[in-house]
């Protein structure tokens, strides 16, 4: 079964968010943009995005307001805070208060792809689901997501440590899950 990732973007019109949207589109991530916490609250009651990208400040709140709305929605989702420039204090606050990551432009496809994949794996792990794994084409862009190809495991194989120290095993196209 193939499934595309869906990201909710909460931001004011800005050049760096347009750059983010363009890069996410290159990665075949479906996006929907909003500009306020109120709009996000309404949409989060109707759909469950895989990821949320939010500016550190929005018209009627902040990234923390968005994080709290995501937490209250009842379905876990990884929140990535987007800053306009590097800010160590904001980065530390973001990480301490529960967001998945903090990113700043320029948005390079390979770096953003790693963040998207890691955040999506985190979202699905928190939901207690088998996480979709992005299948990469030769130039590195996300083209499709196949479910049932990643298992949270501690066994041998091609694995890497995740954010919480869990090992994520990626199975190849012809592999059989243990």
pLDDT at 79: 98
pLDDT (tens digit per residue) in 100-136: 999 999 999 999 999 999 999 999 999 998 765 554 4
Answer yes or no: is pLDDT of 159 > 70.
Answer: no
User: Domain coordinates of the chain in residue numbers?
Assistant: 6-149
pLDDT of residue 45: 92
Quickly list DSSP for 8-56: EEE--S-HHHHHHHHHHHHTT-EEEEE-SHHHHHHHHTT---SEEEEES
More confident residue, 142 or 1: 142
Mean pLDDT of 143-162: 36
pLDDT score for 168? 37
Q: Is the pLDDT of residue 137 over 70?
A: no
Task: Report d(CA 175, CA 74) in Å as an integer.
Answer: 34
Residue 55 confidence class, pLDDT cut points 50, 70, 90: very high
pLDDT at 8: 97
Question: How far from 95 is each of 25, 41, 60, 153, CA to CA, in Å?
Answer: 26, 22, 22, 25
pLDDT-based confidence at residue 176 (cuts at 50, 70, 90): very low
The pLDDT of 47-51, averaged and rounded, is 95
Mean pLDDT of 74-82: 95
Average pLDDT over residues 138-156: 36
Which of 19-33, 107-121, 163-177 bottoms out in mean pLDDT, i.e. has the lowest? 163-177
Q: Is 43 exposed, middle or buried, given 0-12, 13-18 or 19+ CB atoms closer than 10 A?
A: middle
CATH class of this structure's domain 6-149: alpha beta
How high is the pLDDT of residue 95? Answer: 95
Greater model confidence, 79 or 13: 79
Tokens describing residue 93:
């606050």
pLDDT at 141: 41
């Amino acid at each position: 079964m193939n499934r595309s990732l869906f990201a909710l973007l909460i931001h004011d019109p800005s050049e760096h968010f347009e750059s983010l949207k363009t890069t996410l589109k290159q990665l075949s991530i479906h996006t929907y943009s909003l500009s306020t916490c109120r709009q996000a609250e309404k949409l989060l009651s109707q759909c469950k995005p895989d990821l949320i990208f939010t500016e550190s400040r929005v018209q009627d709140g902040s990234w923390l307001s968005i994080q709290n709305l995501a937490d209250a929605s009842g379905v876990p989702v990884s929140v990535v805070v987007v800053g306009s420039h590097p800010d160590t204090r904001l980065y530390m606050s973001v990480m301490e208060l529960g967001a998945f990551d903090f990113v700043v432009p320029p948005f390079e496809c390979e770096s953003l792809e790693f963040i998207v994949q890691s955040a999506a794996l985190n979202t699905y792990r928190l939901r207690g689901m088998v996480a979709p794994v992005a299948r990469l084409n030769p130039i590195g862009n996300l083209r499709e997501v196949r479910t049932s190809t990643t298992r949270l495991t501690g066994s041998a194989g091609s694995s890497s440590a995740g954010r919480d120290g869990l090992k994520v095993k990626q199975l190849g196209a012809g592999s059989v899950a243990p």
